[in-house]
Amino acid sequence: MASKLKLLAAAMATVGLLAACGGGGGADTTPKAKVTSVKVMGDSLSDSGTFGFKFTVQGSAPTGAGSTMIWPERIADQFSQSLCAHFRAGDENLTTYQEVATCTNYAVGGGRVNPLDAPTSPKSVLVQIQAASKAGFSADDLVVIDGGANDAADVIGALIAAAKGNSQPLNAMVAWLDSKAPGTSTALMTQAGGDASKFAGLAAGAYLQTLAKTFAGSIAQNVVAKGATRVAVLNVPAITKTPRFQMVLASIAKAAGGGDQGAAAAAKQEASFDALVQVFNNQLAASLAGQSQVVLVDFYTEFKSQISNPAQYDFDNVKDPVCPITGVDASGLPTYTFPTCTAAALSATPGKSSPDWWQHHVFADSFHPTPYGHQQMSQLVSRSLAQKGWL
Amino acid sequence: MKISVRIIAAAAALAACSLASAQSAGSWMARVGVTHLSPDVSSGNLSAPSFPNTKVDAGSNTQLGGGITYMVTDNLALDVPLATPFKHDLSGAGSIAGVGKLGSTKAIPATLMLQYRFNEAKAAFRPYLGVGVTYAHFYGEKTTATLNGLSGGTLANPTTAELDDKFGALAQLGFVYNFNERWFVDASYSKSFLKTKIHLSSGQSVSVRLNPDVFAMAIGYRF
């Protein structure tokens, strides 16, 4: 009996012995899809260093090894690819620039779907798309594109200027609309019943809607139709939540008399500006729909979620830019200088409780995310890529 | 595979000292077959930082199974189910539903069951009820590029995962059908109550009730 129980114990011990052969976790980082090149088009959020730096807190180097990994670089890394800026320029208006054929990140800081001041320069995301298309797409490419945020910011700026009596920026947009579809402004004015402020709102919406259509059309024509099979497009984030627009809204509140009355006026404006962003996003979604090669990443919703529920994302500050203010722009808003806003300089800021004080802020300056914000963006894009079976 | 070799070795050892007839007190039995383990997952939310409502799911697995039974009395049995290590895929659920496989883990449940077997020792058909304890050992966790991307990992510093080893409880119902004095078939269904926690190297964790349904069928030999 005793010997038999020993056998039973031995059987259990056998299980135990096998159990002991465990170990720590490992990782197989081979993505689901074979991606041999990552191609990027977009604005400052995606710029790997057109102007020699990135639009966030700088790492130990401004570009290349040791530099901060921005979101498309984190995505490229998952596929064992690295990125570098295709366009190189000394000045932000790109009056002159070089192209580096081996670099596949075409994104440029200040990039717009429709840069009215420089429509044929690489500041135009459409021009970037055409340049990438000219170089050619293959079935093994992953193409990631963002755009429209600066256009939406331009429109909001134009509306604010128009309300203050300067209609020039809005008129330029209306003129562009008329050049695309003659008679648009007359029709909109009729729709507005001659009310100038109503007309401004309608024109702003029509402008962004047309841009979204143009943007999506270019992606279909120059990317998907040219052989790309994996295209991720980010929509425009809720830019009204950025410090830049929160400052603008604060001044609107102040101008409206402050207090509850001012807050109500600012909230109303914020809602109407946000609605314009949604006009662009809804049109973009509608125009991109039905293409199995394209996944639309809902950056708008996720960004709002991050701002309203920061702890869930381990953000500890959703308001204050970490980079120091270095100047003031024409509209009285603070400006920042990314090349000198380095991780080392921020960590050395006197009077902070920890050198890591800035790490989990959302904003680097008043409009761009911190490196951690970029990580969150890459995680969001990763989710969409994985859901498509690409990562 | 190792286990089945050991089962045969144990069976040979037991054969030498078996005298009793039928499944009566003091009988030893060994069996070999298949065991299917199907987790019935109820996942908590992955802790921050994460997308709100990030959950995981676990896939089922079938392995070579079997076990050893000792009849303490004519009706009470002690049973040790054995199986080659299970391998379960972990996938995304909740707000990351559809992302696919996040990783996999191997699992060895070390289990002891106490069973009550109805009918006489010599009866051909003996249904039984059982209760038991299990100690689930998880090892060989392997994560994917998907998890790496979702958790902010890089190629240089990929996100890995580890599962806590845990005790669980089981309730079982099954039957033995004796073809003759020596050979029988044993089939059972067990509900296991098992909760574990998955830890990511990126700092988050998620509690998961695996509560697997365990289906086992085996051909056995009484010594």
pLDDT digits (tens, 9 = 90+) for A273-305: 999 999 999 999 999 999 999 999 999 999 999
Asked if B154 and A313 come within 8 Å (Cβ–Cβ), the reply is: no
B197: domain CATH number is 2.40.160.20
In chain A, the residue whose alpha carbon lies closest to the alpha carbon of B12 is A7
Residue type (1 letter), B168? G
Q: Is A370 on the interface with B (CB under 8 A)?
A: no
CATH number of A121's domain: 3.40.50.1110
**Residue at A350 is within a domain:** yes
Inform me whether the pLDDT recorded for A10 exceeds 60.
no
Within a domain: A22: no
Q: What gap in Å lies between CA A118 and CA A345, rounded to an integer?
A: 34
- Contact of A379 with chain B, judged by CB distance below 8 Å, is answered with yes
Residue B61 scores a pLDDT above 60 = yes
Q: Which two tokens stand for residue A199?
A: 């007309």
For B102, the token pair is: 């996040």
Of the partner residues B68, B85, B147, the one whose CB lies closest to the CB of residue A11: B68
B221: phi then psi, degrees, rounded to nearest 5 = -135, 130
Q: For A41-56, what is each residue's pLDDT tens digit? A: 999 999 999 999 999 9
Show residues of chain A in contact with B110, CB under 8 Å.
Answer: 12, 15-16, 19
Task: Write the CA distances from A41 to A66, A179, A293, B27, B135, integer angstroms.
Answer: 23, 26, 16, 74, 53
Q: Tokens at residue A34, please?
A: 């074979």
Beta strands in chain A (DSSP E): 26-28, 37-41, 87-88, 98-99, 141-146, 231-234, 294-297, 325-328, 334-336
Residue B205 with chain A: CB contacts under 8 Å = none
Residue A8, pLDDT > 70, answer: no
pLDDT tens for A135-167 read: 999 999 999 999 999 999 999 999 999 999 999
pLDDT tier at A6, thresholds 50, 70, 90: low
The answer to whether residue A39 scores a pLDDT higher than 90 is: yes
The model's pLDDT over A209-223, given as tens digits with 9 standing for 90+, comes to: 999 999 999 999 999
Q: What is the pLDDT of residues A73-90, one digit of tens each?
A: 999 999 999 999 999 999
Q: What is the per-residue pLDDT across B85-131, written as a single tens digit (0 to 9) for each?
A: 999 999 999 999 999 999 999 999 999 999 999 999 999 999 999 99
Distance from CA of B158 to the nearest CA of A (A): 7
Is the distance from CB of A83 to CB of A104 less than 8 angstroms?
yes
Is position A121 within any domain? yes
User: B45 pLDDT exceeds 60?
Assistant: yes
Task: Please report which helix (H) or strand (E) contains residue B33, including its range.
Answer: strand B28-38
Question: Across the strands, what pairs with A146?
Answer: A234
Q: How many CB atoms lie within 10 A of CB A354?
A: 8
For chain A, how many structural domains are there in total?
1
* Tally of structural domains, chain B: 1
Alpha-carbon distance B136 to nearest alpha carbon in chain A (angstroms): 9
Task: Kindly compute the dihedral angle of the four CA atoms of residues A317, A323, A325, A326, in this order, to the nearest 10 degrees.
Answer: -170
What's the rounded Cα separation, in Å, for the pair A291 and A216?
Answer: 11
Domain housing B204: 2-222
Please report where in the chains the tokens 């080659």 appear, as a residue: B84
Neighbours of A85 (CB within 10 A): 26
Q: For residue A331, what pLDDT is reported?
A: 86
The residue range of the domain holding A304 is 33-387
Percent of all residues in chain B with a pLDDT value above 70, rounded to a whole number: 91
A14 and A118 Cβ atoms separated by less than 8 Å: no
| Residue bearing the bigger pLDDT, B194 or B9 | B194
Query: Which residues of chain A does B103 touch, with a Cβ-Cβ cutoff of 8 Å?
Result: 25
Q: What is the ipTM of this complex?
A: 0.91
Chain B residues whose CB is inside 8 A of the A29 CB are 144-145, 148, 155, 158
